[in-house]
């Protein structure tokens, strides 16, 4: 099923501009991790945890629900629109931070939601950029796996940075500083998008289709087959936030649940790195079905071990297919979605996971109150089984992609070897 001669991570990083885009990804995701945390703490300090919860939910819903629309709007225009959207969002976050001190909490909450509604599609656009930057599917798989791993680490570091900053200054200043990071990230992304191979052709294709009504990606067969496993992955992740503390309290101290949460992220890191460094001969559909099936197996194992100290092992197994599911989804987008809509499709994946996670937490909490963690985990396994069937329904071969954007020329083998050696 696999071949050890696949491109290494070092070889993928040797592709021109790869390191620059990967570093830009870190800069783009830091505000995504810092801003929600800063909003939560700022509102908690001034209005209490109840209002802070409303503000946090409003921000995340505005970001998730409008994510595909923002990505589609920016893709149909010039890359500079990402920068314009970022600057608008920064100004609204600054206004929200300034208004947090007023007595009427509705004002800063509305400003925060508006800032989220204009949150620039940085990560979806970067994911789309990989499709035009990488010379072949194997390099694309490798770089997506590496990028997803770096993304996980970024979201681990962001709250730590926020906590350290809040020990030195007011949380509102941390919110403002975090928002300012959007500007250089958007500026760098704009430069990268303009310099990528096929950028002019992509803009022309998007502009020519801007006035043509098209079905939403989520309503197409390929779109549903690609997105549904990611939504269910979000459901499982949200359900874990309820199951883990309940299971930990059942056999020990609820404080120990932190180890299980770390095990979930560690499973994603291990699974992503292991998957990305191999050359798979099975079709994308088969791999996607198998990865989603791994989610079923992990959830069933969690149901069996949810009342024992081995819960941490089960949670690790649930996390193992997480990054592979995302990586395969990104490659399916590259293969089966019109290039002019890659950013929109990637936004659907991010929004789908976030909305699924919110639903998993809410519904899992209600179900847990009526039954227990074992039945919640079993229910998640059943939903994951349905997603496995949806992934299995993907066509064997992609439909012809119109308006294809040509990729950059393949690098000279000798040059790639030289760059890889220097990178080591």
Say if CB 146 and CB 276 are below 8 A apart.
yes
Q: How far apart are CA 189 and CA 205, in angstroms?
A: 20
Is residue 230 a contact partner of residue 327, using CB atoms and an 8 Å limit? no
Regions of the chain with pLDDT less than 70: 1-7, 135, 197-215, 250-258, 396-424
Specify the pLDDT at position 253. 60
pLDDT at residue 54 in the model: 85
Cα-Cα-Cα-Cα dihedral sign, residues 85, 86, 92, 96 = positive
Q: What is the DSSP letter of 120?
A: -
CA angle 398/137/25 to nearest 5° reads 110
Domains in the chain, CATH or no CATH each = 1-213 (1.20.1250.20), 214-397 (1.20.1250.20)
Whether 195 and 133 have beta carbons less than 8 Å apart is answered as no
Helix%, strand%, coil% for the chain, nearest 5: 80, 0, 20
pLDDT at 107: 93
- Distance of alpha carbon 382 from alpha carbon 42, whole angstroms: 39
Q: Are 84 and 138 in contact (CB under 8 A)?
A: no
| Residues 260 and 315: beta-carbon distance below 8 Å | yes
Cα distance between residue 203 and residue 381, in whole Å: 42
Q: Give me the pLDDT at residue 405, please.
A: 41
Q: Is 170 exposed, middle or buried (0-12, 13-18, 19+ CB in 10 A)?
A: middle
Q: What is the distance between the alpha carbons of residues 127 and 353, in angstroms, rounded to a whole number? A: 15
DSSP 8-state symbol, 401:
P
Q: Show Cβ contacts of residue 258 under 8 Å, excluding neighbours closer than 6 positions.
A: none
Dist CA 354 CA 233 (whole Å): 10
Give the span between the Cα atoms of 79 and 187, in whole angstroms: 9
Q: What is the pLDDT of residue 420?
A: 33
């Amino acid at each position: 099923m696999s071949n050890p001669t696949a491109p290494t991570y070092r070889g993928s990083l040797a592709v021109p501009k790869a390191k620059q885009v990967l570093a830009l990804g870190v800069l783009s995701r830091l505000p995504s991790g810092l801003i929600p945390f800063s909003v939560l703490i700022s509102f908690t300090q001034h209005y209490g945890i109840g209002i802070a919860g409303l503000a946090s939910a409003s921000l995340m819903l505005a970001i998730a629900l409008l994510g595909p629309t923002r990505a589609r709007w920016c893709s149909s225009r010039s890359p500079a629109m990402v920068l314009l959207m970022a600057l608008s969002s920064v100004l609204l976050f600054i206004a929200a931070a300034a208004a947090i001190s007023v007595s009427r909490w509705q004002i800063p909450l509305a400003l925060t939601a508006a800032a989220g509604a204009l949150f620039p599609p940085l990560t979806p656009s970067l994911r789309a950029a990989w499709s035009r930057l990488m010379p072949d599917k194997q390099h694309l798989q490798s770089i997506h796996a590496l990028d997803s791993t770096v993304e996980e680490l970024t979201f681990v570091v962001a709250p730590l940075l926020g906590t350290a900053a809040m020990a030195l200054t007011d949380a509102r200043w941390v919110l403002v500083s975090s928002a300012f990071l959007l500007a250089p990230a958007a500026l760098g992304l704009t430069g990268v998008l303009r310099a990528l191979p096929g950028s002019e052709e992509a803009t022309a294709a998007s502009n020519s289709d801007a006035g043509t009504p098209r079905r939403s990606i989520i309503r197409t067969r390929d779109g549903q087959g690609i997105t549904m496993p990611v939504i269910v992955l979000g459901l499982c992740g949200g359900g874990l936030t309820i199951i883990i503390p309940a299971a930990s309290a059942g056999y020990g101290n609820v404080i120990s649940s932190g180890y299980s949460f770390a095990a979930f992220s560690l499973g994603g890191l291990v699974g992503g790195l292991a998957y990305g460094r191999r050359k798979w001969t099975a079709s994308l559909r088969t791999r996607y079905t198998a990865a989603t099936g791994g989610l079923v197996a992990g959830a069933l194992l969690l149901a069996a071990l949810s009342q024992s100290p081995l819960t941490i092992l089960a949670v690790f197994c649930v996390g193992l297919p997480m990054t592979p599911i995302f990586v395969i989804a990104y490659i399916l987008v590259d293969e089966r979605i019109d290039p002019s809509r890659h950013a929109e499709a990637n936004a659907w994946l991010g929004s789908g996971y976030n909305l699924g996670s919110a639903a998993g937490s809410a519904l899992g909490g209600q179900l847990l109150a009526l039954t227990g963690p074992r039945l919640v985990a079993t229910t998640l396994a059943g939903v994951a089984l349905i997603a496995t069937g949806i992934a299995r329904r993907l066509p064997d071969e992609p439909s012809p992609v119109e308006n294809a954007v040509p990729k950059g020329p393949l690098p000279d083998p000798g040059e790639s070897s030289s760059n890889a050696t220097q990178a080591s």
